[in-house]
Each structure stands twice: as structure tokens, then as C-alpha cells.
Amino acid sequence: MIEVKFRGRGGQGAVVASEILGKTFFLEGKWPQAFSLFGSERRGAPVFGFLRVDDKPILLKCQIKNPDQVLVFDLSLTDAEEVFREVKPGGIVLINTGYDIDHFQKWRSFKIGLVNAGAIARDAGLRDTFNTAILGAYARLTGLVKIETLLSTVRGMVPSKIEANVQAVRRSYEEVRIYLPEEKI
């Protein structure tokens, strides 16, 4: 089973991203379980989406405390110590950022993907909702879903600006910078 946590703010699309990715896995023959956690339903408030995926039905019904993968929509919601406590050893971290890998040296025990999803979404005309840009980067970083299936899901699930979202998926898929974990000496 793979467990994924989406860390974002209201309006960025983290919860919808977990649902889109869940449906993408479903279309590829997997068993997804997507759910969310948030306090107040307002733009800018912290929100968390969760996704479990397995080859067989999932009976587990509880919050994900130690995910295999974390998608960070907003760096202000996390820090290196929190990631170390939360993500399983050997896990994957995807970060929406304009920073380069030097900024994340403390995180180098994980496989890391860096993508400026916010800028990609704005360039596509999507303003501050960049969930589809994050998902394009996820597809390439993990190799767990096919880009074609993700694009089909986006076309079927996003309510507006469909081609702008497709463009964001494709561009982030191409632009994500991937860094393998560094061994400690």
C-alpha cells in the first residue's frame, strides 16, 4: 500500500488533487481511498488531503500519520524536522517551490521533486490553484501513473479551464527537477 499526504492551503487545490490522483489510480486498475482534513473552509487556511492506493481493496479507515509520499503545496506549512518525523524512511517529497536543491540540503535523505507549480499555473491562466501542475510533476517523479491517464482524468474532473489545466500538467511533468536521496558518510 502507498500512502500519500497533500499539504496545502485552502484555494490551492490540495484536496481536489488527492481526488484527481485517486481517480487516476483507479482508472489504472488500483484501489484508491481519498479523504481530507481541514478546520475552517476558507481560502488560505491549512488543508490536508490523503490518499491510499493498493492493488486490493483497502479496509483501513484512519488518518495517515506516516505517509510514503508528501506533496507540499505551501512551504510555510512544513519544515525539515516535521518531514523527518512524518515521512517514512526512503520516502518521496514533492515541493512546490522556486528554490533550487541547495535550499533543501536537510531533506536529502528522501527522493525529492522540485517544481514551481504556482508559476506554471499562473502562466497557464489558473491563478493560485495549481493542483494539476503538482500532479504532472508527481506523475514523472514517481512513475506510478501514466501521464495519459492523468490527462484524461483532469479533462473529466476539472470544471473549467480544461486546456489550461492540461497545459499545466504537461509543463510540470517536463519541468520537475528530480533528486535522488544522498547517502550519509
Task: Label residue 185 by pLDDT band (50, 70, 90).
Answer: very low
Residue 36's H or E segment, with its range, is strand 31-38
The string of pLDDT tens digits covering residues 34-89 is: 987 655 566 777 788 899 999 999 998 888 999 999 999 998 888 778 888 999 99
pLDDT on residue 13:
82
Q: Rounded CA gap, 57 and 120, in Å?
A: 35
Nearest to 47 by CA among 57, 58, 55, 39: 39
State how far the alpha carbon of 12 is from the alpha carbons of 21, 49, 92, 116, in Å: 15, 12, 21, 13
Domain ranges of the chain: 2-179
Looking at residue 82, its amino acid is E
Residue 50's H or E segment, with its range, is strand 46-54
The string of pLDDT tens digits covering residues 100-152 is: 999 998 889 999 999 999 999 999 999 878 899 999 999 999 999 999 999 99
Name the class of domain 2-179: alpha beta
CB atoms within 10 A of CB 120: 26
pLDDT on residue 51:
96
